[in-house]
Structure 1
Amino acid sequence: MTSKDDDDDLFDLDALRAAMKGATPAPDPAKRDADLRLAQENFAVLQGSRPDARLTSDREPRGLLRGMRQMLNTLTGRTGLGLTTALVACGIFILSPMGEDLMQRAPGLGPQEPAPGPVSQPDQMPEPMADSLPAPEAEMQAAPRAEETLPLSGPDDRLRTGPADGTVVLGEMAEMAEEAPAFVESGDLNAPAPLQRLAAPTPSAGIAPGGEAGYIAAEPPLVLPGPDTETFANAEDNPLRIAAEEPVSTFSIDVDTASWSVIRSSILGGYLPPAEAVRIEEMINYFPYDYAAPEPGEAPFRPTISVFETPWNEGTELVHIALQGEMPALADRPPLNLVFLIDTSGSMADADKLPLLKQSFRLMLAELRPEDEVAIVEYAGSAGVALPPTAAGERSTVLAALDGLGAGGSTNGQGGLEQAYALAAEMAEDGEVSRVLLATDGDFNVGLSDPSALEDYIADKRETGIYLSVLGFGRGNLDDATMQALAQNGNGQAAYIDTLSEARKVLVDQLTGALFPIAGDVKVQVEWNPAEVAEYRLIGYETRALAREDFANDRVDAGELGAGHSVTAIYEVTPVGSPARLTEDLRYAADSPQADAAHDGELGFLRLRWKEPGEDVSQLMETPIALPEGAARPGTEAAFAAAIAGFGQLLKDSPYLGSWGYDEAIALATESRGDDPFGYRNEALQLMRLAQSLAD
């Protein structure tokens, strides 16, 4: 049995204190400064990387020194102090590298290799093994919880969990992942793509920047395209007609240009346009031409006729008929009351619809005079006035109302039209011009969505002197048939805007012609001389055909010719006796017509009818179509129009072209490009080349 003195010698508390004090390293100012810099750098890197508060423990602080201090302050017996000191020494040995190595060698002892993945919080209950559950439940069990945090392996490897679905994001993408959908609706192309967490690493899985396997960037968002509901106003191609049986051809002029823009949009999109979207007369009339203008005191337009050999069909001839409208002095134009009727339905949310529309109207606003008035009516599920009548000079007020428009809801076209016409009527005063300018993708799904009902409604309103023009935006649900019905019956123009350059062409360069007509209800009638012409066909104008008796009927509506506008029509005719004739004489037909000496040298006879603006009675202009003298060559303007007519027929796969193809069309357009100050003809050449590549 040991004595008290022996116990004191064995457990000398002073010696133990001295030993521990000696083992404590001396302060190192250099190392302290380095550690402080590192802490500041880590704080700067990780600043803001964790939006949630750090998890803290509600237990009292722990630590070796704190425990020893508490032990020394609490325990007074030397025996107890000795025992606890021995236990502390054993713990220090076990925690040392030598002790860890010894414990790892002993089977079943010591810490095991940690499993990869998040560490459970102290207050979490143990979870069942994932491989003991059915497959779906195992996957759910393996997924991290929304509030678990992942360890950081370095200042640049900032990983944290996103929403409750376990999405893992990197750095700055963390905030966007909380709102990123798994699928993106059609048109939402700018939505961020979330990062996905794999349930378990696979051989093909990527490695996150921090070196953690199983975290990879997701594939781009799956865009769900909307159904293609586009409809186009068109009809079967004009057939070949026999002059002896049907010598008269009648049609209304057409100054619309929408078809060319739709064709361009399609080709630049990497595909050929559908045949029903190709209206050749609109392709030809898209381009400005250098036709002879009327002299002062003459009719508001001058016709020009040329006859030349058909480029694609030897033995036939093209009869090129052009009308050039006069351009009155801009200073003489009356004040303008303009109502913007803007479709703000959900289908207008795409970038090439409402956003492009706003940019386009900004260009137009700069062309208006301070005394002109502007109003804005928007329509979606319901219609409302976004801007009451406001002087165009108050630019900031108009632009603020325009910028405040947003897309959403269905398309109540009827409500919008009614309110726009009512507002235009309030703005109208004697001597002023009032117009409604409708901007839409044509998707009318509420109200008067039937084109025939729209025709009647608009036809009634045009009698008040308020005309309607239509601007189409976007693709996918473009209702061209409705747009054409509105514009034709509203005595206005239909255009399709797919680029800001096209907006400038329509709303700036051609604004005067679009809003100020110089001739109304313009009709064209050609009577062919059966003694000279065996067959003929009109290229285009299928949707503008009129009955023969409609020509002299002033109650029948037709197209308007705007200030400075030109209109072109092309016939292909087969002379009598030509080997290119496709039909034969009938067995029981009357004798072949004989030429009338009084009309010798006439291929046909051109008649034109029009009304002065605001008048109800039409005027008549007549002129013969003379036979060409020898092998006449076309002028530059007529040849380029023929090249565009050939291009349109190639797009429609016309049976009348024979072996004539894109090479010939491109060559003809190149030779006749002429003066091209705005680059429109050069653009046509580029589109021809692209279409040729797509057609091969």
Structure 2
Amino acid sequence: MIVKPKLLVVSLSGLLLVACGKMPAQQMSMGKMAAVEVGMPAPSMVNAYESMPQPIENTENYQKVETNPVYVVAQQPVSTFSVDVDTGSYSNVRRFLTREGQLPPVDAVRIEEMVNYFNYDYPNPTGQHPFSVNTEVVNSPWQPNAKIIKIGIKAKDLEMKQLPAANLVFLVDVSGSMDAENKLPLVKKTLTLLTEQLRPQDKVTIVTYASGEDLALAPTSGANKDKILKVIHRLKADGATSGERAIQLAYEQAQKSYIQGGINRILIATDGDFNVGITNFETLKGMIAEKRKSGISFSTFGFGTGNYDEQLMEQLADAGDGNYSYIDNEREAEKVLQRQLSSTLATVAQDVKIQVEFNPATVKEYRLIGYENRVLKNEDFNNDRVDAGDIGAGHTVTALYEVIPVGQKGWLSESRYQAPSNSSKANKQEYAYVNVRYKQPQKSQSVLLSQPVPARSVALAQASSDTRFAIAVASYAQQLRGGQYNANMKWDDILKLAQSAALPDEFGLRAEFIDLVKAAKSLSAESVKP
């Protein structure tokens, strides 16, 4: 008589602990079994437990990012990487700060995508090359003796009416996992924005997939917008997710409508939660890397939370020579598919690689800020068979290096045996030499563009507004990743730097960034220090 009430109390305690998230459900189930075994009237308690709302497991997936190390110029003077025009990391991080009310996972923060989310006012190209290359050197706000070398690329701009005819395949995930307000309904709004800008010479095909794949719309001219929009508006979410077979069908349809010399692109809209058919990451990536040889690019638009596979979205776009964007609201959809449509669709330079050779007479140490998953082997630079990033019309690309000049204290201890370079014949007028290699669209042989970085710098306060803002964004991203290289720079310092470069701001993006810095500060451990 005494034992049974004790068992009942234990089981009720377990129930409370599960409800509070302090005991795994499987432990609670053991408590229920024990109660039943001694003949206790536990069914009502079991029913109460089973009727409780169960927590939804967060299965979001991010690629591991290892921060670039510091290199000694005397040992490794050359740095090579592929350009990146993706912006998905920025809007995904924004979602964590504003909707989730929490700091993002460290691996969700890719510095180059944060910096390249913004357009910068670099000069338009004027010569034979499809983009201009610009450099600026400023004093670093992080390391007392360091400089920051900014490399900025601006691609030639094209208005929508100047773009070649487009053959677009909308590949839409309509599986059950897309049944949320920030998923399929937002996908439909996004595709509507794109459809409204189509021209008669453009063609759209719509492929949907859930438990099976379906050709929802055969190739249709942009002149028939009503027909396209009716199909988009009828989309409903239901079923499992068989992404691999749908990707195959999308390529088949794109190939059937292929436009020689035109834009041929698949645009997938999904949360990336593939759970039927081929789901292996490397297999899917390899399949798309092979398909890009057909001249059809593959862009990804990520949506949703909870089960979002960000690694898949970002890497599939890279493999398919396309862009990766994360659409967290209608405003982001407008940015990507309305204001920046030409850069989203039209490629002006392919396989763009940057190689920087540092001058050992003037630079002792360096580190590349971001681009961790874009780093290439030095021998890849001259190899035209090695794939790299593409640049769309009007795109700007920014890369930052932090360097330690010769004679200054850096991150690393001085070598006991390696003598510093002090040759009187050394070229001390340059910090570095920048080489950019790219291919014209549909060409197989690359073109080389080179220019030196003069060994002179200005104080950060005297730098251009764009440079100060880019460094503020890089500082913000570094701080979100733990602040390893931010030294004594705190959230308030980042905020002041961003505010000093808040204009021009035609679309309010810089003002929004300042709000994000404030939000990150309020959520960080720094804000609760006494």
TM-score in terms of structure 2 length = 0.87
| 1:225 CA drift (Å) | 3.8
Matches within 5 A, 1:216-295: 223-268=53-98, 269-295=100-126
User: Which residue in the other structure is 2:429 paired with?
Assistant: 601
Q: CA contact under 8 A between 2:160 and 2:341: conserved in structure 1?
A: no
Matched, 1:684 2:513: yes
Deviation per residue, 1:33-70 (Å, 9 max, x gap): xxxxxxxxxxxxxxxxxxxxxxxxxxxxxxxxxxxxxx
For residues 285 and 256 of structure 2, the distance between their equivalents in structure 1, rounded to whole angstroms, comes to 23
User: Which residue in the other structure is 2:156 paired with?
Assistant: 326
Give 2:388's match in structure 1, choosing from 558, 563, 569.
558
Which deviates the most, 607-616 or 327-336?
A: 327-336
User: Which residue in the other structure is 1:466 paired with?
Assistant: 296
Q: Counterpart of 2:476 in structure 1: which amino acid?
A: F
User: Which residue in the other structure is 1:618 paired with?
Assistant: 446
Q: Give the secondary structure class of the aligned counterpart of 2:294.
A: coil
Deviation per residue, 1:538-583 (Å, 9 max, x gap): 110001010111111111100000000000000011111213x121
User: Which residue in the other structure is 1:68 paired with?
Assistant: none
| 1:399 CA drift (Å) | 1.5
For residues 689 and 334 of structure 1, the distance between their equivalents in structure 2, rounded to whole angstroms, comes to 43
User: Which residue in the other structure is 1:588 paired with?
Assistant: 417
| 1:223 CA drift (Å) | 4.6
User: Which residue in the other structure is 2:34 paired with?
Assistant: none
For residues 55 and 382 of structure 2, the distance between their equivalents in structure 1, rounded to whole angstroms, comes to 49
User: Which residue in the other structure is 1:108 paired with?
Assistant: none
| 1:334 CA drift (Å) | 1.4
Structure with bigger gyration radius:
1
Q: Counterpart of 1:666 in structure 2: which amino acid?
A: L
User: Which residue in the other structure is 1:376 paired with?
Assistant: 206
| 1:429 CA drift (Å) | 3.0
Matches within 5 A, 1:236-635: 236-268=66-98, 269-295=100-126, 297-579=127-409, 581-589=410-418, 591-595=419-423, 597=425, 599-629=427-457, 631=459, 633-635=462-464
Structure 1 spans left out of the alignment, 5+ residues: 1-182, 184-220
| 1:596 CA drift (Å) | 6.6
Q: Counterpart of 1:659 in structure 2: which amino acid?
A: N
For residues 684 and 630 of structure 1, the distance between their equivalents in structure 2, rounded to whole angstroms, comes to 25
For residues 411 and 391 of structure 2, the distance between their equivalents in structure 1, rounded to whole angstroms, comes to 36
Q: Give the secondary structure class of the aligned counterpart of 1:597.
A: coil
Q: CA contact under 8 A between 1:234 and 1:542: conserved in structure 2?
A: no
Q: Counterpart of 1:604 in structure 2: which amino acid?
A: A
Matched, 1:693 2:522: yes
For residues 519 and 459 of structure 2, the distance between their equivalents in structure 1, rounded to whole angstroms, comes to 33
Q: CA contact under 8 A between 2:137 and 2:457: conserved in structure 1?
A: no
Q: Counterpart of 1:577 in structure 2: which amino acid?
A: G
User: Which residue in the other structure is 1:54 paired with?
Assistant: none
Q: Counterpart of 1:657 in structure 2: which amino acid?
A: N
For residues 582 and 438 of structure 1, the distance between their equivalents in structure 2, rounded to whole angstroms, comes to 43
For residues 372 and 262 of structure 1, the distance between their equivalents in structure 2, rounded to whole angstroms, comes to 31
Q: CA contact under 8 A between 1:234 and 1:543: conserved in structure 2?
A: no
| 1:222 CA drift (Å) | 5.9
- Tell me: CA distance 1:249–1:395, structure 2 relative to 1, closer, same or farther (3 Å): same
For residues 549 and 270 of structure 1, the distance between their equivalents in structure 2, rounded to whole angstroms, comes to 44
Matches within 5 A, 1:83-94: none
Q: CA contact under 8 A between 2:114 and 2:473: conserved in structure 1?
A: yes
Deviation per residue, 1:628-680 (Å, 9 max, x gap): 15647311101100000000011011222122111000000000112101000
User: Which residue in the other structure is 2:13 paired with?
Assistant: none
| 1:330 CA drift (Å) | 3.7
For residues 272 and 654 of structure 1, the distance between their equivalents in structure 2, rounded to whole angstroms, comes to 13
Q: CA contact under 8 A between 2:165 and 2:259: conserved in structure 1?
A: no
Q: Give the secondary structure class of the aligned counterpart of 1:463.
A: helix
Deviation per residue, 1:146-177 (Å, 9 max, x gap): xxxxxxxxxxxxxxxxxxxxxxxxxxxxxxxx
| 1:415 CA drift (Å) | 0.7
Q: Give the secondary structure class of the aligned counterpart of 1:536.
A: strand
Q: Counterpart of 1:281 in structure 2: which amino acid?
A: E
For residues 213 and 224 of structure 2, the distance between their equivalents in structure 1, rounded to whole angstroms, comes to 24
Q: Give the secondary structure class of the aligned counterpart of 1:645.
A: helix
For residues 355 and 629 of structure 1, the distance between their equivalents in structure 2, rounded to whole angstroms, comes to 50
Q: Counterpart of 1:336 in structure 2: which amino acid?
A: A
TM-score in terms of structure 1 length = 0.67
Q: Give the secondary structure class of the aligned counterpart of 1:318.
A: strand
Q: Counterpart of 1:283 in structure 2: which amino acid?
A: M
Equivalent residues, number: 476
Give 1:670's match in structure 2, choosing from 499, 510, 520.
499
For residues 423 and 186 of structure 2, the distance between their equivalents in structure 1, rounded to whole angstroms, comes to 58
Deviation per residue, 1:350-378 (Å, 9 max, x gap): 11000110011111111111221111100
| 1:510 CA drift (Å) | 0.9
Q: CA contact under 8 A between 1:523 and 1:558: conserved in structure 2?
A: yes
Q: Give the secondary structure class of the aligned counterpart of 1:599.
A: coil
Q: CA contact under 8 A between 1:451 and 1:485: conserved in structure 2?
A: no
- Tell me: CA distance 1:291–1:577, structure 2 relative to 1, closer, same or farther (3 Å): same
Deviation per residue, 1:450-509 (Å, 9 max, x gap): 221122111111111110000000011111111122100100000000000000001111
User: Which residue in the other structure is 1:117 paired with?
Assistant: none
- Matched residues, percent identical? 42
Deviation per residue, 1:511-539 (Å, 9 max, x gap): 11111000000000111112211111111
Matches within 5 A, 1:81-230: 223-230=53-60
For residues 342 and 226 of structure 1, the distance between their equivalents in structure 2, rounded to whole angstroms, comes to 24
For residues 362 and 479 of structure 2, the distance between their equivalents in structure 1, rounded to whole angstroms, comes to 28
Structure 2 spans left out of the alignment, 5+ residues: 1-18, 20-50
